[in-house]
Chains A and B, each alone.
Chain A
Amino acid sequence: MSPEEEKDLVKKAKIDSEAFGRLYDEYYSKIFGYVLKRTGNLEIAQDVVSETFLKALKNIKKFQWQSFFGKKPLFGAWLYRIASNEIANFFRHKKPAISLGSAPDPVFGKDLFGEIVVAEQKLKDCQDFLLIQKEILGLPEKYQEVLVLRFFEKKQIKEIAEILGKREGTIKSLIHRGLKKLRQKMPPI
C-alpha cells in the first residue's frame, strides 16, 4: 500500500468500519511480530496487540498527519508507537488479560490451542533469538525499543525516529549505547 493509499484509507477509517478493518489486516502481523519480539511471550503479545488496536480504534478520529521534525509520520509509525507504550504499560502494571468476548466455543478453543502449541514450538526453535531477547529485556526500556526496532524489525534509523518521536541523531546514539550495554551483559561471541 502506498503512503497516499494509506492516507485515504485512514481518512475513511474514521467513519467506515470496513476501512478500519483493512488497516487492521494490513498491520496486524507487523504489530504482532514487533510485540512478540519485544516481549518474547505469546500470551503477553496477544494481550498487548489487542490493547494496541483497541487504543487505535478509540483514537483513530484524533489521528492527524502532523508534521514532525519536518516529516509526516505514517499510520504504521503511529501504531508502533501505541504498541511501544502498551508494552511499557504492560510491564509497569502487569495488566490482566483482555477478554475477546465470552467463552470461546469448543471448536475455536481447540484450534487456538493447537495454534499456540505450534507457535510455542516455532518460538522455541529460535534459541539464539530467545537468549538475546532475554538480555535485551533486562536493559532500560529506551534501549529495548531501539534495539528491537533496528535489529529484529530491520527498521531504518529514520523510521525508528518517526515511531519513537525522537531525532535521528538521538536514535543513533541510543543504539550505540544500547549495544554497549548489551555487550557487557552478553558472553563473548
Chain B
Amino acid sequence: MLDLEKKLENLKTPEIELLSHKQKLRALLLERYAQKQVFSPFKGAVPLGFALIVLFALVLRFPAFQRQDIALAKEIALRDADFKLLIEQGGIIKETQLSDSKAYMLVDLGESDAGNTQKLAAPLSVSGLTFLVEVDFKEKKVSQIKELSQPSLSFSQKEEAAVREISQQSERVKKEIPLEAEIKEIRPVLIQLKLVKKGNKVEVLPEKEAMIIYQKNGQSWEGMIDLKTASVKKIELVGEKE
C-alpha cells in the first residue's frame, strides 16, 4: 500500500481557476448580501409578531411612512422650483435610492444644457453635469441639491492585478495582440457615477473601467476592460508611438 500512498503524494493535480466564474459569483454574493441587509431587521432575532406591531405603530404614527417610494420622491421633488428647473433644462433622473426617511436621486444634465443652470435660484455651479438630489419624506421637501464634481480615480494593487489577469486570460487579447506585446499603462476611466446603498447610508461612487495600453515595436493597442464582468470590451490598434 506504500507504493499507492507514494504515488498519490507525488501525483500532479490540476491547478485551475475560472476567473469569469469567480468574478460573477462575487458580484452575485455581494448583491445577495445587500438584499439580506435590507430585509434582515425583520428576520431571525425580532419575532415576527413584534415586528408587525412596530410596523403597524409606525404606519399609524407617521403618515409619511405609509408611502416612501420612488414615485413619491419624484412627486415631492417636482414641487421644488430648482429641481423642476433642472428637469425642464433636460435633466434626466438616472437613478434613485431609498434610505431611512430619505430618497436620493442622481440627475444628469446633458452638456448642451449645462450653460443654462445659472437660472437656478439655488447656488449650483455650472461646471458640474451631475447633481445629487436629496428628498426628505418626513418634511416632504427637497432638502439638498448638490452638484457632484468629477472624482479622482485610481486603481488599488488588487484591481490592477485583476486587470492584468483578465487581459492575460482573454482569448480576444490573445487573438488580436501579439504575444510579445507589453502592457505599458493601465488607467482607470470613469463610466458613470452610481448611488450605492451601504447600510443606512447612500453613497455616490464612481463606476470605472480600465484602459489598458499594449506596445510592441512602436505599435500601440488600446483596450477597455470591464472589471465587473471580467471582460475585454474593446481592443483597437491606435498606431505608432515613440
Contact = CB atoms under 8 A, between A and B. Distances in A.
Contacts of B71: none
Given A24-B29, A100-B25, A111-B171, A36 B16 contact: yes
A49 B29 CA distance: 12
Interface of B is mostly: helix
B164 to A, nearest CB: 15
Contact of B13 (A25, A115, A152): A152
B231 A54 contact: no
Interface in A37-53: 37, 42, 46, 49-50, 53
Contacts, number: 137
A100 B28 CA distance: 6
Interface string A93-120: 0000000110011011011101110110
Interface of B: 1, 3-5, 7-9, 11-22, 24-30, 32-34, 36-37, 44, 158, 169-172, 226, 229-233
Interface of A: 17, 20-21, 24-25, 28-29, 32-33, 36-37, 42, 46, 49-50, 53-54, 57-58, 61, 100-101, 104-105, 107-108, 110-112, 114-116, 118-119, 122-123, 125-126, 128-129, 132, 147, 151-152, 179-180, 182-183, 186, 189
30 contacts: A20-B29, A21-B29, A24-B25, A28-B26, A32-B17, A33-B16, A33-B17, A37-B13, A42-B18, A49-B21, A50-B25, A53-B25, A54-B29, A57-B29, A57-B32, A57-B36, A100-B28, A101-B27, A104-B229, A105-B229, A107-B226, A107-B232, A108-B231, A114-B169, A122-B15, A122-B16, A126-B12, A128-B11, A183-B4, A189-B4
